[in-house]
Amino acid sequence: MTVAAATALRANPDRNFRYWLLTPAIFLLLLVGLFPLFYSLVVSFMRIDMMDTDTSFAGLYNYANMFKDKRLWAALGHTLLITVIALPIELLLGLAMAYLFLEKLPGRQIFISLLVLPTIISPIVAGATWRLLFDNRYGPINQVLGWFAGHPVTALWTINPHLVYPAIIFCEIWQWTPFMFLILLAALSNVDKSQTEAAAIDGAGFFRTFRRIVLPAIWPVMAIAILIRGLDLARIFDIIWALTSGGPGTMTETISVYTYAQGFKQFETSYTAAIAFLVIVILTIVVTWAIRRMGLAK
Amino acid sequence: MVTRRDLGKIGLAAGFAGTFTRPAWAESAADIAVKAAQQYKGQTITIVWEAGLQSLDPLNFSGPKWKELTGIDVKVVEAPIAEMFTKIMQDFKSGAGAYDALNVVPAWMPDLVNAGALEVLDPFVDKYGFRDELQKIAPTYRDNQMMVNGKIYGFPDDGDVFVMYYRTDVLGDPALQAAFKAKLGYDLPVPPTTWKEFDEVGAFITEFTGGKTYGAGFFRESGYANFTFQERFRNEGGKFFDGETMKATINTDAGVKVFTDWLAENKFAPPGVEQWGFVENLAAFLQGQTAMTVSWPPYGRWAAGYGTDQEVMSWVPKSTIAGKVGYAMPPGGHPELAAGFCLSVSSTSKNKEAAYLFIQWLNSEAVSLERVKLPYALRDPFRDSHFTDPGYAALWPEAKDYLAALQAGANNGLLDLSLLQTDKYEEVLRQSVSKLWAGEDPKAILDTAAGEWDAITEKIGVDKQKAIYADWASKSGAYPKM
């Protein structure tokens, strides 16, 4: 602001002027944020499906259909399954690794950098890479297993119903455990050492010290990490799309994969909007509950 | 020393020269298109083309040539085939008019026409005198893939058809033939003409060679198996729907037999065949690991080594079986005209006339012949003159037999199912195949699939879909003439 403008403002102290300055930014945010949300809500009450010319008001038709759609509920179940398995493993592994790297080790910085590498890879690229690694014909995983087994192994990792979930969860853990590790390492580094040393002098064991001193100290950070990863897992798409596309059949179809298939392969635009709102409602309830439960709202 | 390959190249070059130095008194559809298009010099037309090898045609050959002849630039928008329909529909729905000309899979045409995304081409065809040359497209493609509701919406431009490829040295091995006769009590058929024969020959080869050469390789990955299911189901006598009620009938004995036979065949195919698509099957065949397979035409060219010395083809495994491959109709005798492409004009194009002239020129007798001979592109012969072209027949020693097999396929081929929202029906088939490999019961899978097909039909409207199906089923390539 020039000196002249500042003087003019002082001379005429219009308190609303600052709000006028903010208006374009607020308008832009509403335009790109809230408008699509409300428009999607409107679309979810219509009959738009890309191919048809009848786009009239459909009332609760799309929402009623969701309750009859077994594939949708199965997809939600698959998402939940992956989340409840992958999230605790990532948390425990990340915590263990963070403890390991808490000590001053030779080459610590280099190891930490290397361990974090999977996290910076695009998930779709990671998925495509793992698909190659799991390939039954040219993939090294079957080859290595074959060396141990003493005979060729032709495991169909992305087709066999007994192997496909372990494959997906393994990839997920491989890529995102470093994220947990990094955040928990930062949290552990900030734990007051005098308290843990005092506990050790008083004869407290590792688990007692962890439960009584370390966990309360790192809990706010750990809760945020759990929340972020939980939300990521709830919308898991890339790795599954690259590895199995939701197959075999619809066995690994998560809610994001199903929504994508409905929206961009089947062109069920209104139904997809309704699914998106169902997901928003479910996640809002879960996140609100989790925030209260974890004490993050305090 | 001039080899036969060189003679082929010389022939190609001569044909090329002939195409573009034709005298004015013999005006072809290509010449007419070029002359008329010169008024649009300086403009740019945008065409949607499948990404990968397919698009090397407009990028390296036809696009630059069109620019040279007319001064019109050709911008190629590449998209994977799975995304092309979406892109075309999105452009149409938004009204952006970003695309002028389109590559369209024939099975998509009812949907695109129903939506209004394609321009009717009849007025252009008459205006620019293309009707006579259109008549020279092989009847299967011309009569089945060009029109919707009696109007022309696309020019069939790719003779995609499944052909059976078999190793003449393996099936012709006297020791193997003798052992086969001793075990099965009849002469080994070269090539097998029924699926029963195919399966017995395939299983025997795997057993006889101890897996050194497997009896056969297959497309089993669900995206590809959708086509092979459609082919085999109809060769087994199956019908997709009851024409009266529009109830799905894919769960009849024919469908269950196809799935059950597939499971049995996988046992004599290489391990992991359930995951095989185009590249896996190709690699195994070219490396001599499988004795028989069914696939699109490029397998035949590449197995003979034609064009694979080009840099863009470096990903194609070196053929170890050149000169040892026979071509025939797949068992059952009615191959799938799987996918394919038509050239169309977008209804939202702002350069419709220029776009039309470009596709007329591409599809014309003279230019299309050069395009189907491009060693790196994937357009396959689709005109009567392509099948009998001496230049093509000289490209490799067995090319004449190859062309004969493609022509036989065109004459007996089966159309992909084409209804309103075809992809929804195909998606159910793809998932069904995927469930089969996951170990589910064939009959249960197909019962579920039939139920899902019925639900799709009901959502679209039974009467509406019934009319479309009746139109499709009346076409010569819908079902085999038993």
CA–CA dist A239, A128 (Å, integer): 8
> A266: distance to nearest CA of chain B, Å?
6
Secondary structure E strands in B55-154: 73-79, 101-104, 147-148, 151-152
Inspect the interface and report whether the beta carbons of A156 and B437 lie closer than 8 Å: yes
DSSP conformation letters of B200-225: HHHHHHHHHHTTSSBS-----SHHHH
- Whether the pLDDT of residue A13 is over 80: the answer is no
**Which one of A43, A50, A69, A253 makes the best mutation probe of the B interface by having the most chain B beta carbons within 10 Å?**
A50
- For residue B83, the chain A residue with the least C-alpha distance is A265
pLDDT of B25 reads: 46
- For A159, the closest of B280, B427, B437 (CB atoms) is B437
Is CATH 2.130.10.10 what the domain over A68-293 is classified as, yes or no? no
CB contact under 8 A, A51 and B86: no
Is B318 part of any domain?
no
**How close A195 comes to chain B (CA, Å)?**
55
Test B272 with A154 for CB contact under 8 angstroms. yes
Which strands, in side-by-side order, build the sheet including B342-345?
B73-79, B44-50, B101-104, B342-345, B155-156
The answer to whether B393 and B399 have CB atoms below 8 angstroms apart is yes
Please give the C-alpha separations between residue B392 and each of A21, B319, B401, in angstroms, as whole numbers. Answer: 72, 20, 11
pLDDT of residue A255: 97
In contact, B442 and B436? CB cutoff 8 Å: yes
Residue type, B172: G
Peptide bond into B335 cis (omega under 30): no
- CATH number of the domain encompassing residue B98: 3.40.190.10
Residue B144 is part of which domain span? 4-156+342-378
What confidence score (pLDDT) does residue A11 get?
A: 56
Nearest to B274 among A159, A249, A250 (CB): A159
Segment A81-111, tens digit of pLDDT = 999 999 999 999 999 999 999 988 888 999 9
pLDDT in tens, A235-261: 999 999 999 999 898 999 999 999 999
ipTM above 0.90, yes or no: no
| B92, closest residue in chain A (CA to CA) | A50
Task: Give chain A positions within 8 Å (CB) of B272.
Answer: 136-137, 154, 156
pLDDT band at A6 (very low <50, low <70, confident <90, very high): low
Judge contact between B362 and B108, C-beta under 8 A.
no
Predicted local confidence at residue B17, as pLDDT: 45
Question: Nearest-CA residue of chain B relative to A158?
Answer: B275
Residue A40: half-sphere exposure toward Cβ, Cα within 13 Å: 18
- As beta bridge partners, residue B148 has B151
Please calculate the CA angle B409-B413-B414 and round it to the nearest 5 degrees: 160
Domain with CATH 1.10.3720.10 in chain A: 68-293
Average pLDDT, chain A: 91
A265 CB near a chain B CB, below 8 Å?
yes
Distance CA B162, CA B231 (A): 9
* B438/A249 touch (CB, cutoff 8 Å), yes or no: yes
Q: Does B115 touch chain A (CB under 8 A)?
A: yes
Provide the token pair at B163: 């052909």
Dump pLDDT digits (tens) for A171-194: 999 999 999 999 999 999 999 999
* Interchain CB distance below 8 Å, A249 and B434: yes
Query: In chain A, what residues touch B453 (CB-CB under 8 Å)?
Result: none
B210 inside 8 A of chain A by CB? no
Sheet with B163-167: strands ordered across: B292-295, B163-167, B325-328
Give the dihedral of Cα atoms B91, B95, B99, B100; nearest 10 deg. Answer: 140
User: Is it the case that residue A212 has pLDDT exceeding 80?
Assistant: yes
- Alpha carbons B11 and B366: distance in angstroms, whole number: 14
User: Residue B432 and residue B452: Cα distance in Å, rounded?
Assistant: 11
pLDDT score, position B309: 86
Contact indicator for B247, B454 with CB cutoff of 8 Å: yes
Judged by CB atoms closer than 8 Å, whether chains meet at B272 and A156 is answered as yes
Strands B73-79 and B44-50: parallel
Q: Which residue of A has its CA nearest to B110?
A: A51
Q: List all residues of chain A from 121 to 140 with a beta carbon under 8 Å from chain B.
A: 135-137
Render each residue's pLDDT in chain B as its tens digit; 482 residues: 334 444 344 444 444 444 444 444 458 999 999 999 999 999 999 999 999 889 999 999 999 999 999 999 999 999 988 889 989 988 998 889 999 999 999 999 999 999 899 999 999 999 999 999 999 999 999 999 999 989 999 999 999 999 999 999 999 999 999 999 999 999 999 999 999 999 999 999 999 999 999 999 999 999 999 999 999 999 999 999 999 999 999 999 999 999 999 999 999 999 999 999 999 999 999 999 999 999 999 999 999 999 888 888 888 888 999 999 999 999 999 999 999 999 999 999 999 999 999 999 999 999 999 999 998 888 999 999 999 999 999 999 999 999 999 999 999 999 999 999 998 999 999 999 999 999 999 999 999 999 999 999 999 999 999 999 999 999 989 999 86
Whether residue B246 is contained in a domain is answered as: no
**Is the distance from CB of A166 to CB of A244 less than 8 angstroms?**
no
B271, closest residue in chain A (CA to CA)? A154
Q: Number of folded domains in chain B?
A: 1
B106 neighbors B144 (Cβ within 8 angstroms): yes
- Residue A26 Cα, gap to closest chain B Cα (Å): 27
A159: nearest CB among B93, B114, B438:
B438
Question: What three-state secondary structure class fits B190?
Answer: coil
CA–CA separation, A87 and B243 (whole Å)? 51
Among the partner-chain residues B111, B423, B438, the one whose CB lies closest to the CB of A161 is B438
Report how far residue A56's alpha carbon sits from residue A43's, in angstroms, rounded to the nearest whole number.
10
